[in-house]
Every structure is written in structure tokens, then in C-alpha cells.
Structure 1
Amino acid sequence: MRSDKSRAGGGEDAGPVERARCGPDGHRCCGCPFPLLIALLQLLLGVAVATVAFLMAAISPSLLARETPHWAGILLCVVSILGFVLYGITYLPDESTTMQFIVKVLYFLLCSVGLIVSILVIAFQGHHYSLTIGFTCRETSQDCVCTLEPEDPVGRTFTYAGVTDCTAVTSTLMFFYLLQMVLNLVQALVCLLGAFLMWKHRYQVFFAGLQMGSPSTQHWQKV
């Protein structure tokens, strides 16, 4: 009778396979702990991007904000903190707590924004990297003046204040541009993975709240 009742969907014993999938307490779904690893990666990448950006800003105060994307790293650190909060929230079926629903929505939205920001940073850094490759630079007092076409007297010039050695622009800054592109590419992939997994676990793994059997058994069916 007990095995028949379990097969009918109303038994209390969900079996070792179901318990392994849903967690040791039988209520936490297998997808709930997923933000932990992604949040750790986002935190490390955010700190790395911000640190490299501040090192770039130290080369010259003339660098623009789009050339030193510390804002992208700070944003990813905020996303990672939200991921840690999401991991610490107790899972309840059908998102029956307002906090759980709000944090999930914010995490999904911020991961999406982080993906867009990372793509923008890659575009900005790639543009400045391509410009720096064609620079012809010379030192003037305390500045470094670079041009794309030294033969053109009215050509566009780029002045880097406080740079006494132009190799800091033509070598060090180019390396930082390339490093930012790589870091933000990985950052974009991690944000994309976080947003995708949140969507996937919301609609394919999280319990939808459809109750089967008697109210005392509380058997939840995944849809």
C-alpha cells in the first residue's frame, strides 16, 4: 500500500533520487545554490576590472571615463553581492516570499545590464586600442602628444598630461586596453550565464507550486 501510494504521487517518501535532486531537506531545489559560483566569479572579475582601470587612470589624468572603465567593475561587484544574497535566501516553492521574488528579478536585470555594459567596454577599449596602434608620439615638457598622421599639420592630436615617457602610452596603455577587453569578455560571458541560469531555473527547474495529493503531504510537481 505504501509503494502504491508513493507511485500515485501522494506519498511522503519522495525517494533517494528525488531527495538528492532537491536537497537534503527535501524542499530546496537543486538549482537554488547556483548563484554562489557565478557570484564569486563576478566578484573576482569586478575587482580585476576596477583595479586595472584605476591603474590606467594613474598613467594620465587626461584619460576619459570610457578609457578607464572602473564603473563596469563596480557594477559587477554589486551584482555579485546580490548573488550572495540570493544564495542565502531560503527557497520556498512558487516564490511565496516578496524578498525572494524581488532579489531574483534584480539579479536577472543586473546580470543583463552587466552583459550590455561589458560589451560597451569591449567596444570602447577596442576603439582606443586601434587608435593607439597608429600613434606617433613625442614628449613635450611634462606631456606626451600623439598624432595619427604626423605629416598632417592640422591632424588630430591626443595630449596625455603628466606623461614624461611616451612608452607608457604606446606600450603600457595598449596592454591595459587589451587586458580590459579580455576581462570584460569573460565578464560578459559570466553575466550571460547568470541571466540564462536564472531564467532557466525560474521556468524549468524551480517548483511551480502545483500541489498533488492531500494538503498534508505537500508534494510539488515540477513543470
Structure 2
Amino acid sequence: MGSEKSQAGSSGGQKKAKPDRGGLDSEGSHTCCGCRFPLLIALLQLLLGIAITVVAFLMTTISPSLLARETPHWAGIILCVVSVLGFVLYFITYLPDERTYTQFIIKLVYFLLCSVGLIISIIVIAFQGHHYSLTNGFICREIREDCICTLEPEDPIARTFTYAEVTDCTAVTSTLMLYYLLQMVLNLSQAIVCLLGAFIMWKHRYQVFFVGLQLASPSTQQWQKV
């Protein structure tokens, strides 16, 4: 009887632990590729950054007189750089607790760039909203190959806005306004994504604490980390 019990105990001890059905590995990180941080956020940042850049260059085709703050291609390029760093962070095996100086430095830079991306997106939204409200009150007339716009056509000293190489003023009063709205929507989405990335990074680093839930016997003193 004793030998049978020992054999049963040894066979039971050789059983492998079943993987968690919740999609978690031994270290508590997600095993599915799309669930791991920051893959999804970096992908959204890349797509939105490319979209912002493409729309900005389309705006420059309307008139070369448009200023840099009216065509925020610089914002899209910066956000693409942020997304590339997010991919680098993903491929070096992201962990909430840093194990190397490389992970710590890249995570810190990615957090700072997400914060910068959030600020840049807010600035672009402010610029695009201002130019949209300004363009909405324009009264334009075509003079040769230019489009001359003003807010008060009866005032001889009123400020005028000249858009060179625009033969049809509807490109300013309708198409350009549509681009302004599209830029506001894209940059608002980008601001939300950057805020989410910075928040998750901060939460993983500073909102990890121990709760009084014991997982094993008092002798082992193993506690659940949440």
C-alpha cells in the first residue's frame, strides 16, 4: 500500500501545470500577439500619423501660400517617429518591471514622446479650429491666378488673405475647410491614442501594488501582485 501511494504521489507530481485559459503566461503577460502593449497603440499612431501627413500634403496642393501651421505635416511625421519607437519597445519584449537599462530608457523616451505627441495634437487642433472659423467668414474674389479673401469687404483697410495660384475660390471656401475639419478629427484621435499610451505606461510602472491575498501557505509568503 505504501508503494502504491508513493507511486501515485510521484505520478501526480509529474503532471504539468495547465496554462491559464485567460491568455496569460507564467509572468502574467498576454500571450496573444495583438494584446501585448504597445503594439496596438503604436499601430494606431502610425496609421494616424500617415493620414495626417497625407492630408497635410494634399492641402499644400491647393495653394503654396498656405503656412506651415495650416498644413501640419510636421505633426504627422513626429507621430510616425513615436510609433516606430513603440514598435521597438514591443520587439524588445515589453515588461511592466524593467530588467535592463535599455528597457528603462526606451520606455522613458516613449512615455515622453507620447506626452509630446499629445501636446502637438492639441496645438494642431487649436490651429485648425482657428483657421476653420476664419475661413468660414471669408468673402473671396478671383483676381487673375490668385484668390483674394477678406472678412469685411466694405472696409478699405481690412486685412486681406491672398492665396496664390488658386483660380477657383471654392477650393478655399469649401475644400480647404473640409481639410481643416478632417485634420481636427485625425488629431483628436491621435491625442486620445497618445494619452492612452502614456497612461498605460504610467499605470504599469507606478500603479502596481501588493494586496493581502495569499496564494499559498503562510510559510511560503507568496502574495498576488496586481
Deviation per CA, 1:130-160, whole angstroms, max 9, x where unpaired? 0001000011111100000000000000000
TM-score by length of 1: 0.81
Provide the TM-score with structure 2 as the length reference: 0.80
Matching of residue 174 in structure 1 with residue 174 in structure 2: no
Name the structure 2 match of 1:9.
Answer: none
Aligned residues: 200
After superposition, where does 1:80-95 map in structure 2 within 5 Å? Answer: 80-91=83-94, 94-95=97-98
Identity, % of aligned pairs?
77
Alignment of 1:44-83 (within 5 A): 44-83=47-86
User: Contact 1:27/1:91 (CA < 8 Å) preserved in 2?
Assistant: no
Q: Is the 1:49–1:73 contact (alpha carbons within 8 Å) kept by the matching residues of 2?
A: yes
Runs ≥4 residues deviating over 6 A: none
Secondary structure at the aligned position of 1:62 is classed as: coil
What does residue 151 of structure 2 align with? 148
The superposition leaves residues 23-62 of structure 1 with CA deviations (integer Å, 9 ceiling, x where unpaired) of 2xx2363498221111111111000000000000111111
Q: How does 1:91-110 map to 2 (within 5 A)?
A: 91=94, 94-110=97-113
Q: Which runs of 5+ in 2 are unaligned?
A: 1-15, 211-219
| Alignment gaps of 5+ in structure 1 | 1-12, 208-216
Q: Partner letter of residue 112 of structure 2?
A: L
Shift of 1:117: 0.3
Q: What amino acid is the match of 1:129?
A: Y
Contact 1:146/1:159 (<8 A) preserved: yes
3-state SS of the aligned residue for 1:119? helix
* Pairing partner for 1:164 from 154, 164, 167: 167
Secondary structure in structure 2 of the residue aligned to 1:138: strand
Q: Is the 8 A contact 1:27 1:92 kept in 2?
A: no
103-112 or 87-96, which deviates more: 87-96
For residues 83 and 148 of structure 2, what CA distance do their matches in structure 1 show? 40
**Secondary structure class of the residue paired with 2:141:** strand
Distance change (3 Å), C-alpha of 1:166 and 1:115: same
- Per the alignment, residue 184 of structure 1 pairs with 187
RMSD: 2.7
Q: Deviations over 1:90-146 (max 9, x none)?
A: 346741211111110111111100000000000000000000010000111111000
Structure 1 CA distance for aligned equivalents of residues 84 and 116 of structure 2 = 15
Matched, 1:193 2:196: yes
Cα 1:105–1:221 change in 2 (3 A) is farther
Higher relative contact order (CA 8 A, sep 6+): 1
